[in-house]
Amino acid sequence: MDATITDLEAREILDSRGNPTVEVDCTLACGIMARAAVPSGASTGAREAVELRDGDAKRFGGKGVRKAVAHINDTIAPDLITIDAREQAAIDETLIAMDGTDNKAVLGANAMLGVSLAVARAAAMASDLPLYRYLGGPGATRLPVPHMNILNGGVHAHWQGADFQEFMIAPYGASSLREAVEWGAEVYHALLGLLEKKGLSVGIGDEGGFAPHVKSNEEPLELIVQAIARAGLRPGTDVGIAIDPASSEFFEDEGFYNLRTENRRLEAGEMVDYYERLVDAYPIALLEDGMAEEDWPGWKRLNHALGDTIELVGDDVFCTNPAIIAKGIEQDIANAVLIKLNQIGTLTETIAATRLAMHHGWGAFVSHRSGETVDSFIADLTVALDTGHLKTGAPARGERVEKYNQLMRIEEALGTAARFAGKSAYVRPVRF
């Protein structure tokens, strides 16, 4: 098929929080049209690529994306028309050169990413291949462990619950992706019943997890262990736990971690001790952003204490940026990196960041954003890059479950070739 790009058209749509975001259609000479939508984060790293917003207070409180849309329609499209969509690296390099900044501040990472993903999806369709196979080749057969954020805190719950932002379940003991999703949904509903029984709120946060008022950051872990057992599953054996404190959100300029829920201010060493106690007490397999993005000495202390025990994932500290990841590898501050497409702005750079981490024996943990769309690109990306695990919210809300549904479709399409990552997903052996 003729995969020459003949048209790129962008528009402003709404994300799962009701804020504007960018959607892009890519049309090819063969008649194929593919579409991609760009997510948006709430807890963002300081070194993330720029998400271009209009700043017009009269529209969406200044969060409109008409400028980014115009950049695609008026600036990017004319330069990419007549290029073969299968030339992904060349297209992304063109976008980077057109922007000319380190952080995508001119065109906007949201504009660039929308184009990058739409082009990739169109190229896959023109090649008559599913997206995961187009991106990953014939070896893309391993399904990831889904990490489901079933209790929300921090900024995702508007600071109404725990300080820690995400409490996730990881059904790594399942025999298949489909069974893992089933177990996750069962634990989610068991937690709902448990919260109702205890008279706690069952309102949900940005990512579909419940956001009850709790007295500590440990109480959600206690509730999750109870919910796993209530669902007839074994904590640690069938279903583990992952946490994302998003500690940059409660790190203060004075160098203290302010746990508002517990009325405590901890130094870095005390924060590491806090995590060690939690890891000893609960089946935690993964800790993301345990220390603040600017607290590299704290990260080194955390890695020294727990790096041989669990997977320590850097999100805000790395921002899916290969240059920063390389520095983190050199200084040995973690053992895994979170992968978010919109933190860096193009598919090619995202793949480079993932490969860099995995080449050095680090884990790569693919992630959604709190402001999502029904675009399921990251489901295919996770299988394509064989990262073994991803997080994309609770087994609730359409924009979250669409990723899990797509993974089940992929598993079905693979048939007997499908493999479920299970406990092998982690760079450190699961202890239970």
315 known member of a binding site: yes
The Cα 353–Cα 325 span in angstroms is 7
- Hey, is 282 helix, strand or coil? coil
The number of beta carbons lying within 10 Å of the beta carbon of residue 301 is 18
215 known member of a binding site: no
23 known member of a binding site: no
198 known member of a binding site: no
244 known member of a binding site: yes
The answer to whether 147 and 389 are in contact (CB under 8 A) is yes
423 known member of a binding site: no
Q: Tokens 């070896």 map to which residue?
A: 139
Q: Tokens 């440990």 map to which residue?
A: 218
Nearest alpha-carbon partner for 344 in 375, 366, 373, 372: 366
Cβ-proximal residues to 250 (8 Å cutoff; 6+ apart), any chain:
154, 163, 257, 258, 259, 260
Contacts 24+ apart (CB under 8 A), 300-303: 300/331, 300/332, 300/333, 301/268, 301/269, 301/272, 302/271, 302/272, 302/275, 303/332, 303/333, 303/334, 303/335
391 known member of a binding site: yes
CA angle 303, 305, 311 (to 5 degrees): 50
397 known member of a binding site: no
375 known member of a binding site: no
Amino acid letter, 323 = A
The answer to whether 25 and 34 are in contact (CB under 8 A) is yes
The Cα 293–Cα 245 span in angstroms is 12
End-to-end CA distance of the chain, in Å?
Answer: 51
Nearest alpha-carbon partner for 45 in 352, 321, 356, 390: 321
The number of beta carbons lying within 10 Å of the beta carbon of residue 270 is 12
Tell me, yes or no, if 207 is annotated catalytic.
yes
Marked catalytic residue, from 207, 218, 293, 311: 207
340 known member of a binding site: yes
The Cα 64–Cα 51 span in angstroms is 11
Marked catalytic residue, from 249, 293, 311, 340: 340
189 known member of a binding site: no
**Helix 219-230 vs helix 177-197: angle between axes, to the nearest 10 degrees?**
120
The Cα 310–Cα 308 span in angstroms is 6
Tell me, yes or no, if 254 is annotated catalytic.
no
158 known member of a binding site: no
DSSP 71: I
Catalytic center residues: 207, 340
Binding region for (2R)-2-phosphoglycerate: 165, 340, 369-370, 391
Binding region: 156, 165-166, 244, 288, 315, 340, 367-370, 391
Binding region for substrate: 156, 166, 288, 315, 367-370, 391
Binding region for Mg(2+): 244, 288, 315
